[in-house]
């Protein structure tokens, strides 16, 4: 997941024909951004599944704990995609004025990638709170760790989904605003 954090920060850094497809599409921007996130979710989990499977084979967690890991991973990926959308809007677009050719990375793009990694780590720490809650409740109240961790992960995922749903329209509006900025750069008269 961390290897893809740099991509998340520039996930809408479209250039060339990709940008034209996005701008000319009649699809609502909220749905477009959401679809983009579902694509990232699939891409991320294709890379993560072998690691998760290896961890399950080697560590032999209970079914509760394995389910909790999957729930936490889904929540982390969702919020990381949303954070990446906001960061990609803030980072400079990589096109040259008057053309759709790509330009070089700027320092703001690099900073954006680092911030994307920080968003990923913060969401991972929030999900780790479910593991901490399970351990504390096991020691303090004698409750079984597996079901407690799973329920805490479910609550964590539900709150992440609620946060995602609340911020998705703002991300789509920010992306739409960025589209207008890119169009202005593309339509510059080049002498």
For residue 21, give its domain range. Answer: 2-186
Residue 41, in any domain of the structure: yes
Task: Specify the pLDDT at position 191.
Answer: 47
Give 88-124 pLDDT, tens digit per residue.
777 655 555 555 555 556 676 677 677 777 777 887 7
69 versus 168: the higher-pLDDT residue is: 168
CA pair distance 157, 32, nearest whole angstrom: 22
90 located within any domain: yes
Whole-number pLDDT of residue 17 = 57
Residue of 66, 80, 81 whose CA lies nearest to 153: 66
Indicate whether 186 pLDDT > 80: no
Q: Are 119 and 100 in contact (CB under 8 A)?
A: no
First to last CA, the chain: 44
Is residue 137 a part of any domain in this protein? yes
Note the pLDDT of residue 95: 56
| Confidence (pTM) | 0.75
Question: Quick one: pLDDT at residue 35?
Answer: 85
pLDDT tens track for 131-183: 888 888 888 888 888 898 899 899 989 999 999 999 999 988 888 887 777 77
Q: Cα-flanking dihedrals φ and ψ of residue 95, to 5°?
A: -130, 150
pLDDT score of 53 more than 90: no
- Which of 9-13, 33-37, 142-146, 157-161 shows the lowest per-residue confidence on average (mean pLDDT)? 9-13
CA dist., res. 80 & res. 43, Å (int): 13
Please list the helix, strand and coil fractions of the chain in percent, rounded to the nearest 5, in that order: 80, 0, 20
Burial per residue of 99-136, b for 16 or more beta-carbon CB atoms within 10 angstroms, e otherwise: ebeeeeeeeebeebbebbbebbeebbebbeebbebbee
Task: With respect to residue 17, please indicate whether it lies within any of the assigned structural domains.
Answer: yes
Domain count, the chain: 1
């Amino acid at each position: 997941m961390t290897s893809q954090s740099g991509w998340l920060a520039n996930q809408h850094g479209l250039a060339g024909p990709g940008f034209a497809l996005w701008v000319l599409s009649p699809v609502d921007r909220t749905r477009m951004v959401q679809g983009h996130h579902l694509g990232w979710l699939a891409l991320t989990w294709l890379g993560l599944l072998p690691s998760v499977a290896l961890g399950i084979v080697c560590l032999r967690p209970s079914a509760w704990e394995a389910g909790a890991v999957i729930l936490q991973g889904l929540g982390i990926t969702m919020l990381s995609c949303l954070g990446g959308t906001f960061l990609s809007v803030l980072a400079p677009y990589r096109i040259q004025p008057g053309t759709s050719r790509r330009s070089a990375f700027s320092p703001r793009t690099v900073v954006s990638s680092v911030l994307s990694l920080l968003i990923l780590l913060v969401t991972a720490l929030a999900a780790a709170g479910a593991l901490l809650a399970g351990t504390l409740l096991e020691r303090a109240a004698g409750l079984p760790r597996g079901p407690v961790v799973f329920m805490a992960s479910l609550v964590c995922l539900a709150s992440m989904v609620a946060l995602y749903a609340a911020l998705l329209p703002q991300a789509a509006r920010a992306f739409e605003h960025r589209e207008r900025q890119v169009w202005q750069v593309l339509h510059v008269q080049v002498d």
